[in-house]
Chains A and B, each alone.
Chain A
Amino acid sequence: MNEKILTLKENNLKQKENSDERKQMLLTSVPVIVLVLMVIFFEIVSEGRLLSLRNIDALFNSMFSIALGASGVAFLMAQGSLDFSMGGIVGLTAALSGFAAGVSPVLSVVVGIITGGLCGLLNGIIHAKFKVSAIITTLSTAFIFRGIQGTLITQGAVSLPGSMMFLEDTTIKVTLMMAVFIVCGIFYTKTKTGKFCKAIGAGEEASHQSGIKVTKYKIGCFVLSGAMAGLVGFFYLVRAASASANTGSGFEFDVLLAMLLGGMPISGGSGARFRSVIIGSLIMTVLSNGMILWGLDSVLQQFIRGIIFLVSVSISFDRRNITTIV
């Protein structure tokens, strides 16, 4: 009799575990489901234009910058940090890359990445060494970077030399994006860098006590985020063949929204997954593009975008390991 009860209990436990697992799988699949539903919906309402060859090209070009930026920010978000200075870094690096482009294309890329890295270093030092919250740090430095950008570009825009126009090439961008995804993905999921970032997001004090060099990883991730923003700035310059005093404006919110839509938890930790970068960037781009093809009133577009964002994030937000929601 006792054995029967034990077996029953074991079976019930197993069933509960399986049910929890299924629930978890469904939860983590929500962004993918949202993406698929969105593609189907917009493909229908646009009468097949969404997935036309030319539109896929346009989608990819829109997605490219967000995906690159998100790849860098993913490490920061795993730590529970945010970077509101990305737009400022993109604009500043686009301007400096434009000036350097007059000398050589290689210098242009290098200047962009290094400047971005240095901007990230400033953010990292202020945040990690002076213990100022990431949001306040990056909001403040955003003013600084924008101001420097505005000081550098006083007339018109910085132009890209004609000899560099060839860099606006889908093959180059696809290759670069794949390389970034693979390298960042491996770092994020298979190396201690990614694991330590998530550990810091899960519990900074516990990570510190466990021997993780928290300050070093915080600064490092800001440098990475800044460097990726620098690379985005370079490609902004290439794509538009110029950089203006407004270049990069609002980019940080595009990236943040993409990450959240992709299911990235804002507090970081073990629920942070690199696939949020890819899925989130796709959702952002398909949503923006789809609503235009749909022919919606522009004000209504914003309203619907807000609702979709709210619903999507609330379904996919991982509340398992969070005791408090702030």
Chain B
Amino acid sequence: MDGRKLKGIAGSLLLPLAIYLLFVITARERFAGLGVLRAIVIQSFIPLLCAYGMVFGRSMRMLDLSIGSRIIAASMIGGIAAENYNLGLVGFVAVTVVSSILLGAVCGLVFRYFRIPSIVVSLVIAMIFEVIGAKVTNGMGFLKLDKELAVLGGIPYNVIVVIITTIIFYYVYYKTKFCYNVRAISGDEVIAGNNGINVAKTKFLAYVVGSFFIGIAAIIQISYATSMSAKLSMESLSMSFKPLMAMIIGVQLQDYIGLPVGIFIGSFMISTLFSGLVALGFPAPAQDIALGVFLVIVVSMSTNTEKIGELLQKRKRSRAAA
């Protein structure tokens, strides 16, 4: 392993630690406890799973902001089916995941056959799927899950689910032909197409495969809160921002520590930031400012690592010369 990669791994692991320590120092006894760390890890699960779902499309430069509406619709369909037909926990999980995959397939079909940019598809899908979430609850706009069905939202079950899902994600992303195709397309779509890769099919599958992970995220989210509320007027779009940021950080770090760990680190950093600001007693607007600044700094730094490296080298040389 060369020095550069070692430095990258060290940097990737030090980054979340640095943010955590920053709040330990500033918030002191309110932040330095295993209970806080546990809460941060648990709160990073939902953005983590959503990011797993988004990364296949994003690798091919597609942008999907409709995951919020799909999470709401799939979890509500699963919850209602499980309660009305006494399907139990297994049935709830199965129906939610299958619903999510079907909804993802619809997205994929819209993208494939209408041939419009993915961001437009995501806005349209968000508008349409939000209606499903609203209508399926018969005007209540809200679904409360029975405690027996919400078991996966608590420790240790949520941890087990996340570990299993991460293993599945690792396998899919690194060991399947589908993801070799995704990576080829992300390099150069035209060349990949000329080399025999079915680009349209791969992009469609990105929606479908990603929706499996979105379905898991939906289960964890509704189980964690034991309820889910429908959103309209494209308010569900905001549910994709945290996962998007976690995914971007993960993609920047993937060369050093791999994508699954990279995304976890991204998600962990965002959860740490949020919890830290709560510990410091920051009001809501200040939390927004801090989150925005953090994202700008992290993404700018990770996009310009080479330039920063060159700058530091230059400074070293000029000091040595002096």
**Which residue numbers of A lie inside 8 Å of B, CB to CB?**
82, 126, 130-132, 135-137, 139-151, 245, 250, 253, 256-257, 260, 266-267, 298-300, 302-303, 305-307, 309-310, 313-314, 317, 319, 323-326
* B116 nearest CB across to chain A (Å): 5
Q: Is the CB of A126 within 8 A of B296?
A: yes
Partner of A309, one of B127, B292, B304: B127
| Residues of A contacting B131 in the complex (Cβ-Cβ under 8 angstroms) | 299-300, 302-303, 306
Residue B234 at the A interface, CB < 8 A?
yes
Question: Chain B: which residue is nearest A151 at the CB level?
Answer: B285
* B252 nearest CB across to chain A (Å): 11
Question: Chain A: which residue is nearest B126 at the CB level?
Answer: A306
* B308 nearest CB across to chain A (Å): 11
* B207 nearest CB across to chain A (Å): 13
Nearest 8 pairs between A and B by C-beta?
A150-B285, A143-B292, A306-B127, A147-B288, A147-B289, A144-B292, A140-B295, A314-B114
Question: Chain B: which residue is nearest A307 at the CB level?
Answer: B128
**Which residue numbers of B lie inside 8 Å of A, CB to CB?**
60-63, 110, 114-120, 123-125, 127-128, 130-131, 134-135, 189-190, 199, 232-234, 237, 241, 244-245, 248, 283-293, 295-296, 299-300, 303-304
Partner of B123, one of A136, A141, A145, A309: A309
Q: Is the CB of A147 within 8 A of B287?
A: yes
Q: Is the CB of B61 within 8 A of A326?
A: yes
Cα–Cα, bound, A14→B280 (Å): 73
| Residues of B contacting A323 in the complex (Cβ-Cβ under 8 angstroms) | 189-190
| Residues of B contacting A253 in the complex (Cβ-Cβ under 8 angstroms) | 123, 234, 237
Q: Is the CB of B115 within 8 A of A137?
A: no
* B153 nearest CB across to chain A (Å): 27
| Residues of A contacting B293 in the complex (Cβ-Cβ under 8 angstroms) | 144
Partner of B120, one of A142, A146, A313, A319: A313
Cα–Cα, bound, A299→B120 (Å): 20
Q: With A132-B303, A256-B123 given, is the CB distance from A302 to B296 under 8 Å?
A: no
| Residues of A contacting B120 in the complex (Cβ-Cβ under 8 angstroms) | 260, 266, 310, 313, 317
Question: Chain B: which residue is nearest A253 at the CB level?
Answer: B234
Q: Is the CB of B190 within 8 A of A324?
A: yes
Cα–Cα, bound, A145→B247 (Å): 23
Cα–Cα, bound, A314→B128 (Å): 16
* A247 nearest CB across to chain B (Å): 14
Q: Is the CB of B127 within 8 A of A302?
A: yes
| Residues of A contacting B296 in the complex (Cβ-Cβ under 8 angstroms) | 126, 132, 137, 140-141, 144
Question: Chain A: which residue is nearest B193 at the CB level?
Answer: A324
| Residues of B contacting A324 in the complex (Cβ-Cβ under 8 angstroms) | 189-190, 199
Q: With A132-B303, A136-B248, A144-B292 given, is the CB distance from A303 to B233 under 8 Å?
A: no
Q: Is the CB of A257 within 8 A of B128?
A: no
Among B125, B189, B290, B300, find the residue whose CB has the most chain A CB atoms closer than 10 A.
Answer: B300
Q: With A131-B303, A303-B131 given, is the CB distance from A144 to B289 under 8 Å?
A: yes
| Residues of B contacting A266 in the complex (Cβ-Cβ under 8 angstroms) | 117, 119-120
| Residues of B contacting A149 in the complex (Cβ-Cβ under 8 angstroms) | 285
Cα–Cα, bound, A257→B245 (Å): 23
Q: With A126-B300, A131-B303, A144-B288 given, is the CB distance from A310 to B110 under 8 Å?
A: yes
* B291 nearest CB across to chain A (Å): 5
Cα–Cα, bound, A319→B299 (Å): 31
| Residues of B contacting A298 in the complex (Cβ-Cβ under 8 angstroms) | 232
Q: With A140-B295, A307-B128, A309-B124 given, is the CB distance from A146 to B288 under 8 Å?
A: yes
Cα–Cα, bound, A312→B39 (Å): 46
Q: Is the CB of B288 within 8 A of A143?
A: yes
Q: With A253-B234, A302-B232 given, is the CB distance from A317 to B289 under 8 Å?
A: no
* B190 nearest CB across to chain A (Å): 6
Cα–Cα, bound, A17→B169 (Å): 50
* A10 nearest CB across to chain B (Å): 33
Question: Chain B: which residue is nearest A324 at the CB level?
Answer: B189
Q: Is the CB of A317 within 8 A of B115?
A: yes
| Residues of B contacting A310 in the complex (Cβ-Cβ under 8 angstroms) | 110, 114, 116, 120, 124
* B288 nearest CB across to chain A (Å): 3
| Residues of B contacting A313 in the complex (Cβ-Cβ under 8 angstroms) | 116, 120, 124
Q: Is the CB of B284 within 8 A of A150?
A: yes
Q: Is the CB of A257 within 8 A of B123?
A: yes
